[in-house]
Amino acid sequence: MSSLKERVLTALVLAPIGIGLVLWLEREAFALALAVLFTFGLSEWARLIGLRSQSSRLALVAINAAAMAALWEWRSEELFRVVIVLGIAWWPLAAVWLGHFGFGADRRRRNVGLKAIAGSLIVVPAWVAAIVLHELPQQGPWWVLFVVALVWCADISAYFAGRRFGHTKLAPRISPGKTRAGVYGALAGSAAYAAIAGAALGHVAKGLVLLVALSLVTVVFSIVGDLFESLIKRHSNQKDSGSLFPGHGGVFDRFDSLFAALPVFVGGKLLLGL
């Protein structure tokens, strides 16, 4: 309960700050702030995957920061969509990786390189997707908050459903605390949230049904994102990616689900015309 209390207190402090930044920042400032936060997460990732020297960790961060800068400099609708598609395509591969726990577990150079590429495919498309969503002409910032709250709702629903009904483990070698009941709770809670929030954002009838369906697919991918970071932490024998957020760990601990959710939701929203 003390851990839960710490998590709640941290969330109560950070949530208003995050909401204010999403709603009030102009697109350049939003993109920059998110790039800083996400590249900090990559510095955590560099440590998790076994890059021992400071120079190699900085190199990974610098390469991805340069990629973000280049994408911003030459940004276009077509380029951003390609990056989002790459991000979506990565997560089924990550799901396959989850089924082979030992793959990449040791710190050979090849495995570290694969995990470094994985980090880029996780973070950069999520950053691009967040920018695309924030820049939508109709309620863009509110859609960013919709996705963030969708992931939060899924996490909270999974936590309480798992505590109350969880008996069968989902992936005991990767994340012992997660249960199948937690997944069902996440899906039920996020469906209810999506229906209510979607109606508040103006969706009705078929549009609302499609939004709920897309939200459920997004939550499934967010669970994969959460599990994949847990897998990497198991490989490195680390409990958390960092300690930036008391009770929540580091940036990757807090955003692992969102990294997966953003490109999937944005890609689906654009495809379905929602």
Q: 116-149 burial, b if ≥16 CB within 10 A, otherwise e?
A: bebbbbbbbbbbbbbbbbbeeeeebbbbbbbbbb
Report residue 15: phi and psi, to 5°. -60, -50
Task: Convert the pLDDT of each residue in 262-274 to its tens digit.
Answer: 999 999 999 998 8
47-62, pLDDT tens digit by residue?
Answer: 888 887 888 899 999 9
pLDDT at 76: 92
Low pLDDT (below 50) residues in the chain: 1
Crossing angle for the helix pair 2-24 and 27-48, to the nearest 10 degrees = 140
Q: Are strands 175-179 and 169-171 parallel, antiparallel or unpaired?
A: antiparallel
What pTM value is reported for the model? 0.92
* Nearest-angstrom CA–CA distance, 258 and 254: 8
- Give the domain ranges of the chain: 2-272
pLDDT at 3 (0 to 100): 60
The pLDDT assigned to 104 comes to 87
Helix segments in the chain, DSSP class H: 2-24, 27-48, 54-73, 77-98, 109-134, 140-165, 180-200, 205-236, 251-272
